[in-house]
Structure 1
Amino acid sequence: MEDLTDVLIVGAGPTGLLLAGDLAAAGVRCTVVEKRAEESNLSRAFAVHARTLEELDARGVADALVSTGTPVSGLRLFGGARLDLSGLPTRFPYVLVTPQYETEAVLERRARACGAEIRMGVEMRTLREVADGVEVAVRERSGDRRRIRARYVVGADGVRSAVRRALGLPFPGRAVVRSMVLADVRLGDPPTELPVIDSNRDAFAVLVPFGEGWYRVVAWDRRRQLPDDAPVALPEVREAMRRALGTDHGAHDARWMSRFHSDERQVERYRVGRVFLAGDAAHVHSPAGGQGMNVGLQDAANLGWKLAAVLQGRAPESLLDSYHTERHPVGRMAVRGSGALLRVALIAPRSLRVVRGTLGRVFTKVPPLAGRIAGAVSGIDIAYPRPPDSHPLTGRRAPDVPLADGRRLYEALRTGRFVLVTPPTSEAAATWADHADVHQAGGPTRHTVLVRPDAYIAWATAEPHPNAAVRRALTEHCGAPPVGVRGR
């Protein structure tokens, strides 16, 4: 028996669920298969950065996620350095600490409400490209085998991606640190400022609040280099904390402990024909900086509107090539940046650790340097390549500007369409509304800006009478008006 769908997503983690919600909200038939039989209430990821929260805001679910966690506006780093995030130019000037399963729950509710089909306990076995699509063989939890034919397939199935293996793509890189341990614990003596990150020559530890009196510990002890399947006991976690932080903060009553190793890997191609890779299936790196889940969610935000535009005839097939062009460099930056941070954390000589602390304090107290670090960590400063001779704003994140109707730009983006923001004096809304949602800016501006559904600027101009240029930009980027597209 063969099922038909427009897009098959393999993997129901955060990346796959965000993508499924975007596609379903745009009216695209979407099926998600996940080999896990049920959702997990345990997870490794816990940091949701500002740019990711902005993307979720553009989908109307950011506030729901924020309510599940703890906003942290400053990060305490090595040697007493502190990175202040409160000055970020965003509604979310902090990192949100919340368990990954909370992120998945919010995204799953949205995806199902929009009409995505999510099948748990279904494992992808093989795939092959066929005429006008991809044929995927799956095995259900009952043992039954089925085939699913899709126009496109997205592998969002993690570091051991079955989709990537089926494509025969290498995953070059290496393991950079082994025998890291995770634990959720209670603390008898919690620190006054969280999160805490510190290290010495033999140990490294991160301590963050997880809500309801729980704390997540990520720790490494140079003296305890064991295989991933070696059991973890609370005394080992407490000893690593004492060595790295100077105290174990009275850790007790661990509800979950795990051991893992950290790789740095990135696939060379994010697209092979009608098959795409996203999230950990495309790139993995150290947990330093908390980038992994965020980069995957932003992969999905980039890919979803492009697939919908192509499937609905509003854009040429070549638009899908820009997914690799734009996201591969971001993945490479995350791999390198988190790797550099991990290596700084694990510096052994005491003299270099002293230098590390001194430089950290200097960098985080000089406003221009601190601002650049905060922008990089939060994802706010991510920008995509822009065509030659285009406006300098092109490819950059769109700020969440107020609109004349009293809403914010990111509220207007919840339709899933392009948004054209014009100066307050513009009267051309009716002329262009078939191609994009048109809004006047809520404050004085010379710029007319076309914003993509993923909240990046597709085109901009400061010309005083840009009607002809706007028409060309709308034709190039938006194509024919979408038919029957729902809000996302």
Structure 2
Amino acid sequence: MTGTTGNTGTTGTTDTNASARIPTPTPTSTTAPVIVVGAGPTGLLLAGDLAAAGVPVTLVEKRPHRISNLSRAFVLHARALEQLDARGLADGLEAVGRPLDRLQLFGRLGVDLTDLPSRFRHVLVLPQYEVEAVLERRAVEAGVDFRYETEVTGLAQDGDGVTVEIRGPGGRAESLRGVYAVGADGMRSKVREAIGVPFPGRSVIRSVVLADVRLAEPPGTLLTVNAVRDAFAFLAPFGDGYYRVIGWRRGHEVSDREPLGLDEVREITRLALGRDYGMHEARWMSRFHSDERQAPAYRVGRVFLAGDAAHVHTPAGGQGMNTGLQDAANLGWKLAQVVSGHAPEALLDTYQAERHPVGRSVLRSSGGIIRLAMAHRPWTLALRTALVTVLDGVAPVRRRAAGRITGIGYRYAAPRGAHPLVGTRVPDVALAGGGRLYEALRGGRFVLIAPRSHDVGPDRAGRLTAARWASDRRTAVLVRPDGHVAWAADSADAAAIESALAAHVG
């Protein structure tokens, strides 16, 4: 769940040459094929994926080398957990988080996640800093070159690469040179500004309060949320004795810099939930306002945007960190393929084509939830009641809504004439020999699942895993490193499979 402290978006036309913003070049220069800016969950996952694939990467982060114990995001959904499982990280996070398989919304709507078509039939409540710590360890072990306390001061690109000007500790200036650069540096992205990409949108809700508190009388359900005419509140456990409170009260929209006291958090909670559960001992409190914004272009030349640098939305549904992680999972393997010479550069265009529609859909779903929570006029309250009734009573509608929020319901567009499975997300299917798909995906490899064994050849051994179905199936499926189908055929001989591998694996 990601809250954003918004500012107005930039406007203007997209500019592929930002050299006018570059200060005088400095004599020091470092070269890496990919430069990633921003060491939040998105940047850490992306940098770790690239380094694990053998692509040298430099990660630039403005903050000091320190994982904060304060966090706005605190929910991992099923699709993000699947991506982490494909990197061998999900089980460790499951051990420290709190799984919730049922959510209670607006007093009467129960959302049961136990029938999700995923290994992870729940949401996992844990703070963002726990996710960042795991991803940082992985990136360090993979050999990522970290540059903490370093900010971007300019960026330019040409036909051969990208030059990123940075200022490090003590004000030391340096030039970084890469083949590609990725801005994962949040809502106020310096990278997005440097390439001239606007960030249109608006603030949706102001003066939302956040607090991590202890409760003298914990609620009976693990996750509590409700909305009345003039307030809403959300309560969820971290598992360490503290609870996250998110609340809003109509008619009290003050500046984000206005001091926040525990009495105000208690008052909003009582108004929305009927009681404050003996709230005390706040370790952190903050105000924020939530924006809905999306960059029209996720790629400009050799520069890409991911995570909050590409899209921000309301915290409803807890989709912020999750969407960013999936951006990184989509882009990382494509950059690795192209940089390593195993795929044409045109593959990188599919990042915009696949992820931009998902970002737009998340804006709509999270915005719809927050507007339902803020409803107070008779007709909007009636609409909320009607929608809750439909969701509660119509199973296909409920499954579709759950698929969108958890991320498992998205599929990518396929070329005309492609097999119906192309672009779909593949669940964690069982493989012959007792393994499963998301174990086979570890290492950033493609996975070929076929009825019979297929010799992948020595040239592809490090980039492709060949497996057989555990069940009796005739379909051959080539699964991309991000768990989506690249190619499929209902009946394919060795020659057809080899042709598909040449086209997709290289």
Tell me if both proteins adopt one fold, taking TM over 0.5 as the criterion: yes
Q: Does 1:410 align with 2:438?
A: yes
Q: Which residue of the other structure, out of 275, 285, 288, is the alignment partner of 2:313?
A: 285
Letter of the aligned partner of 1:318 in structure 2?
A
Name the residue aligned to 1:203. 231
TM-score by length of structure 1 reads: 0.95
Letter of the aligned partner of 1:183 in structure 2?
A
More off after superposition, 10-19 vs 429-438: 429-438
More off after superposition, 441-450 vs 274-283: 441-450
What secondary structure does 2:73 align onto? coil
- Mapped to 2, the partners of 1:207 and 1:466 lie a distance apart of 55
Name the residue aligned to 1:7. 34
Letter of the aligned partner of 2:214 in structure 1?
R
What secondary structure does 1:89 align onto? coil
The answer to whether the 8 A contact 2:61-2:149 is kept is yes
CA RMSD across the alignment: 1.4
Letter of the aligned partner of 1:441 in structure 2?
W
Instruction: Describe the superposition over 1:429-455 as per-residue Cα deviations: whole angstroms up to 9, x where unpaired.
Output: 355964621111111112100000000
Name the residue aligned to 1:136. 164
Name the residue aligned to 1:486. none
TM-score by length of structure 2 reads: 0.92
More off after superposition, 431-440 vs 312-321: 431-440
The answer to whether the 8 A contact 1:196-1:208 is kept is yes
Instruction: Describe the superposition over 1:128-173 as per-residue Cα deviations: whole angstroms up to 9, x where unpaired.
Output: 1135111111111211111111111100000000101111211000
Instruction: Describe the superposition over 1:226-255 as per-residue Cα deviations: whole angstroms up to 9, x where unpaired.
Output: 011111110111111111111111111110
Note the residue ranges of structure 1 that are not aligned, 5 or more in a row: 480-488
Name the residue aligned to 1:63. 91
Q: State the identity %.
A: 56
Q: Does 1:451 align with 2:479?
A: yes
- How far apart are residue 357 of structure 1 and its match? 3.7
More off after superposition, 365-374 vs 212-221: 365-374
Name the residue aligned to 1:483. none
The answer to whether the 8 A contact 1:19-1:301 is kept is yes
Name the residue aligned to 2:206. 178
Q: Does 1:316 align with 2:335?
A: no
Q: Does 1:390 align with 2:418?
A: yes
- How far apart are residue 352 of structure 1 and its match? 4.2
- Mapped to 2, the partners of 1:367 and 1:213 lie a distance apart of 35
Name the residue aligned to 1:370. 398
Q: How does 1:157-306 map to 2 (within 5 A)?
A: 157-306=185-334
More off after superposition, 343-352 vs 244-253: 343-352
What secondary structure does 1:307 align onto? helix
What secondary structure does 1:168 align onto? coil
- How far apart are residue 194 of structure 1 and its match? 2.2
- How far apart are residue 415 of structure 1 and its match? 2.2
The answer to whether the 8 A contact 2:152-2:166 is kept is yes
- Mapped to 1, the partners of 2:142 and 2:267 lie a distance apart of 47
- Mapped to 1, the partners of 2:94 and 2:454 lie a distance apart of 37
- Mapped to 2, the partners of 1:139 and 1:26 lie a distance apart of 28
Q: Runs in 1 of length 4+ with deviation above 4 angstroms?
A: 430-435
More off after superposition, 400-409 vs 361-370: 361-370
What secondary structure does 1:339 align onto? helix
- Mapped to 2, the partners of 1:427 and 1:72 lie a distance apart of 39
The answer to whether the 8 A contact 1:11-1:156 is kept is yes
Q: How many residues align?
A: 476
- Mapped to 1, the partners of 2:454 and 2:132 lie a distance apart of 41
Q: How does 1:103-118 map to 2 (within 5 A)?
A: 103-118=131-146
Q: Which residue of the other structure, out of 455, 459, 467, is the alignment partner of 1:429?
A: 455
